[in-house]
Homo-oligomer: A and B are copies of this chain.
């Protein structure tokens, strides 16, 4: 049975995330599996590179699937896109190497978190940006961001109640760009991520941006290995899974 690597783009606004937390929710995974089942004529199971939360978007999520079909990848992509809803599409389909596993084989991921630091709401940014109305200091945020780079124990940024015990991860790049009273972007690139890690990192940097926490507080925050030492979880709408590297 040939394997395919599918690169997905979605607007996460109306999805309950990649994977259902409760029965009957509209998820990216089941929406994709239903389209695959209609194309192949039988039940299909996909593996996603990352389980994005409800409301999180993707420009380059990756799903692996084994499919009993004679279709060329390009033809499969077109057939799927004709059946998928307007907020989900296969932007690229490729043959997958033998034994390909979208999650385990991923070497790294790039996430982007976008903040709209405007005095008023921005309807055209409503779906993809988290709006912060008050003053922010992007230079302080950029300084604090760099302190998250490296191989570190990120337990302080792990979702409360998560059962994962190995919490050491490597971030290659944590970069803040943009300007006050405009769009501020946070790029986080690394080899692995804990649940809510990027959103908790964004929430912590927002506290730095508001002057509630100095940029040099990051080291102590990580050393504490305590979720309560970090900032709140920033809203899902600002987050996009940009790319998965293999």
Interface residues of A (CB under 8 A from B): 9-11, 57, 59, 74, 77-78, 81, 86-92, 118-124, 126, 128, 240
Q: How far is the CA of A232 from the CA of B161 in the complex (A)?
A: 57
Contact (Cβ within 8 A) B86 A121: yes
Instruction: Specify which chain B residues have a CB less than 8 angstroms from the CB of A88 in the assembled complex.
Output: 123
Taking a contact as CB atoms closer than 8 A, the residue among B77, B128, B240 that contacts A120 in the complex is: B77
Taking a contact as CB atoms closer than 8 A, the residue among B59, B119, B124 that contacts A59 in the complex is: B124
Instruction: Specify which chain B residues have a CB less than 8 angstroms from the CB of A92 in the assembled complex.
Output: 120
Given A86-B126, A88-B123; 16 other pairs, CB 8 A cutoff: A9-B123, A11-B123, A57-B124, A59-B124, A74-B119, A78-B120, A81-B120, A81-B121, A86-B123, A87-B126, A89-B121, A89-B123, A91-B120, A91-B121, A92-B120, A124-B128
Q: How far is the CA of A128 from the CA of B86 in the complex (A)?
A: 13
Q: Give the nearest-CB partner of A93 in chain B.
A: B120
Q: Which of A78, A91, A118 has the most CB of B within 10 A?
A: A91
Contact (Cβ within 8 A) B118 A11: no
Instruction: Specify which chain B residues have a CB less than 8 angstroms from the CB of A119 in the assembled complex.
Output: 74
Q: Which of A81, A91, A120 has the most CB of B within 10 A?
A: A120
Instruction: Specify which chain B residues have a CB less than 8 angstroms from the CB of A91 in the assembled complex.
Output: 118, 120-122
Q: How far is the CA of A21 from the CA of B57 in the complex (A)?
A: 35
Instruction: Specify which chain B residues have a CB less than 8 angstroms from the CB of A123 in the assembled complex.
Output: 9-11, 86-89
Instruction: Specify which chain B residues have a CB less than 8 angstroms from the CB of A86 in the assembled complex.
Output: 121, 123, 126
CB distance from A54 to the nearest CB of B (A): 16
